[in-house]
Structure 1
């Protein structure tokens, strides 16, 4: 595999986007800024050896950082030595789980999360992220565990707002958004960070800055708090699966655009290896970024080595990163808000309301749970999965059974849906009611072309219904058996009746 000119341009361009984002997402994850840079260097290099998509921008992401914060804040204080060690262990667990899922060809597990659950969680998580950045944007103390309460407290104290911080934040938003209007590859975030750093160092800025970053390379180690593994297993599984939905969506999107294949199992392995690298380098869990992936794609990358180049550029620049010690924190907060703004959309919810009210409730319930449990947003995912499962069972319980009586007195039943153990009582109940209403009928015809799946209990219930009908003196006929149910209907109902 050769490195092309497009790979070099894409890799370097993405690196200059990744550096400020890694500082911002480290802060969001409750980690020291240097740890974000370590992850930004090591994770893309590791992922490049196994990635299926040539465009996937691996590294720190807003959603994964928020999930990390939610998983660890109940165990240790953000930024503390114990917290940093736990973050490394969490990344190791996430990486191990993803590698196992990929190795056992379980990449399709990401599809088990329904779209309404993902939409509700992503929207709620984006709202939590924005709220969490408000105090830093204003350099005001929110003093509350819930980000929305902290944001509200900060907003309700305008007298404590730091105007220089607010100016830096607003200027960052303007530069980044204006850069996107100029050209999709315009390095707006880099320009904003450089300008904010110069202002922090030379402009008399008195607010909160990033502080000393340290110009050292990451120290590779597996000195982790292994005894805490039981505490992190569930959060690690949530991050491993939910955090993969973003890189999976990115890979599918660009594979469709370029009419290329992509392999979810291989992508699981690449993301798993990236997390292992992050863990060994003292970092935190990583994922795939839409923003950086778009940069890599638009810059003309042709191979997965573009991601490796991104990591190498960051690695080479690590000794010089202390130059950003004067960077005002509000610039990073503003950068995070801009990065997640597109996730704050109500359009999917309007579509769910129009298409399927039950799925609207699943999405809305997931969003509310994600926001309510903040910063422990992983619990919102669990609530969403429970709601989606309940919605599925509720829908499957409702077996639609149109019935009618023809001119010659023949009873007709035409069940539609899935005939399984939970829905079969409805078929029996409908038949009984129809028989009571038409006691003189002498023939029953059951049309099965509207059925999807039929399980053993459903087939046995159908056979029992036919036996009861014949015992009541009716001649029975089964018609229009669907192909997918022909085997079990033939064995259990038709052959079993003989």
Structure 2
């Protein structure tokens, strides 16, 4: 049991010496990357920069003990930071102290939800976030995150918003007050980071930009020209404290925490699975990942961390740098701890514009253009879902966009299962095969006496009317010569009570018209339902067949069948034949 919740007890005894160099290299690289990135993401969340370092400390340590992905880098990320800002920004808070307290408690609340979901084995929840929704949401959120940094890039006071049209309008009003020196620093940092990444992705481009930005402000006195800087960053490790908020605030935080819990899990599991597939390994356990992420956020909240998850860019760097185990994450957290203890004074002259440039380069890389183009060419319905999610997120906000996107994807799912594919089958000349007459119209035999229908889905309350209407329509098309209706049930895995009632009435209606109803190819669970619901009494065991060919030949010849043929067609777990 202990090894299940602490996978480190499984892999640490088998740790190999040859892994150490890769883990040290990856840990140092990601740790150095985390310092400016964490500070920048804290600014997105509306928190002082040092809270980004706090968020990069304890969560990494806990995940190294409990996580199942050797390469996943847990810490502050752009998406969750903006969700924190948009969620808390909508609440009436008294000041920065209450805002910080709410952000920290949000990590505890979100972590508790993730831990609960994991213990209840609810990792399947992420399946409700379809890829078109994720892609549309991520691209829109990246644009909002990037534009939210315009105030730091321009050096102006732009009123924040998570709605892109309002954000752009607010930015336009302040263009005349742009600080050109700040703009030059920000644009220079963007080109520098982008250029270094193209030259060599392993170069800590963000750290290079930070160092050059600090040196430029310090030696050229740019602070006197109105360039805004980070200022004093508190040193030392965060002291353990109990996160507290007023009880009345918990209900306000619940929708934010639930959204964060699911989005954060989606981010982490998707990047962890991507690395796993690339390496051909099968180690990532979705339910244990929920437990690990939940425990990381809970522990982090006691050390002043705001909500965290696995980061896309850092995990990629961690993998490229050679990470083989959770030791890399422990090294990264050690780098952050040493920075908090000894190096925070070095960030005093860091321009906010440099942090803004780090954020912009990181998030604009999340905008996906190829996938929407693929959907446009191949799946128009999913392209529309992606586009609607994208537009809703831009126009209504981050939280509203993802929630409405998930709702739309569920509605699309319900629509599809309420109207599954129905095929009218015909016998291919000279063979025993039965195929869709729409696809093989010239190759099927004349079957005026037969209607063979295949229903490709479960039969349940949501599609019983559709099934009945389609079957009755085909019966009318066949006309007076119709004598046999054969339901190919190979794709029907479940029949609910509403569908049983509908089928019973349908069989009786057909019988009154002198039409025999037969079922072919029903799988075991479906046959069990036919017997347990007593629907078999209406259909008749003699009208259950192992496959369509057997049903067709039996009806055509009006002949009997062997005892073995009857057993194959009707056998159930109840022992009835």
Normalised to the residue count of structure 2, the TM-score between the two structures is: 0.81
Work out which of the residue numbers 244, 250, 254 in structure 1 matches 2:275: 254
Structure 1 unaligned regions, length at least 5? none
Match of 2:564 in 1: none
Match of 1:278 in 2: 300
What is the rounded CA distance, in whole Å, between the counterparts of 2:217 and 2:484 in structure 1? 84
Distance 1:194-1:151 versus aligned 2 partners, 3 A rule = farther
Match of 1:46 in 2: 62
Match of 2:213 in 1: 196
What is the rounded CA distance, in whole Å, between the counterparts of 2:340 and 2:391 in structure 1? 40
What is the rounded CA distance, in whole Å, between the counterparts of 1:429 and 1:387 in structure 2? 26
Q: Secondary structure at the match of 2:519?
A: strand
Distance 1:399-1:290 versus aligned 2 partners, 3 A rule = closer
- My pick for the range that moved more, 407-416 or 48-57, is 407-416
Distance 1:6-1:226 versus aligned 2 partners, 3 A rule = farther
Mapping 1:251-400, distance limit 5 Å:
251-260=272-281, 261-319=283-341, 320-374=343-397, 377-400=398-421
TM-aligned CA deviation for residue 108 of structure 1: 2.5
Match of 2:37 in 1: 21
Match of 1:170 in 2: 187
Structure 1 residue 96 corresponds to structure 2 residue 118:
no
Distance 1:349-1:489 versus aligned 2 partners, 3 A rule = farther
What is the rounded CA distance, in whole Å, between the counterparts of 2:530 and 2:227 in structure 1? 74
Larger-gyration structure (1/2): 2
Q: Is the 8 A contact 1:131 1:147 kept in 2?
A: no
Query: What is the aligned residue count?
Result: 496
TM-aligned CA deviation for residue 450 of structure 1: 6.2
Structure 2 unaligned regions, length at least 5? 1-11, 427-445, 541-577
Work out which of the residue numbers 170, 175, 179 in structure 1 matches 2:196: 179
Mapping 1:428-443, distance limit 5 Å:
428-443=468-483
- My pick for the range that moved more, 89-98 or 166-175, is 166-175
- The superposition leaves residues 238-288 of structure 1 with CA deviations (integer Å, 9 ceiling, x where unpaired) of 111111111101211111222222111222122112211221112210011
Q: Is the 8 A contact 1:417 1:450 kept in 2?
A: no
- The superposition leaves residues 285-327 of structure 1 with CA deviations (integer Å, 9 ceiling, x where unpaired) of 0011111112211121211121111111111111321210111
Match of 1:488 in 2: 529
Distance 1:78-1:419 versus aligned 2 partners, 3 A rule = farther
Distance 1:413-1:6 versus aligned 2 partners, 3 A rule = closer
- Which of structures 1 and 2 has the larger relative contact order (alpha carbons within 8 angstroms, sep 6+)? 1
TM-aligned CA deviation for residue 452 of structure 1: 4.2
Match of 1:469 in 2: 510
Match of 2:20 in 1: 4
What is the rounded CA distance, in whole Å, between the counterparts of 2:66 and 2:172 in structure 1? 46
TM-aligned CA deviation for residue 51 of structure 1: 1.2
Q: Is the 8 A contact 1:138 1:154 kept in 2?
A: no
Normalised to the residue count of structure 1, the TM-score between the two structures is: 0.93
Structure 1 residue 414 corresponds to structure 2 residue 454:
yes
TM-aligned CA deviation for residue 72 of structure 1: 0.6
- My pick for the range that moved more, 356-365 or 92-101, is 356-365
Match of 2:231 in 1: 211
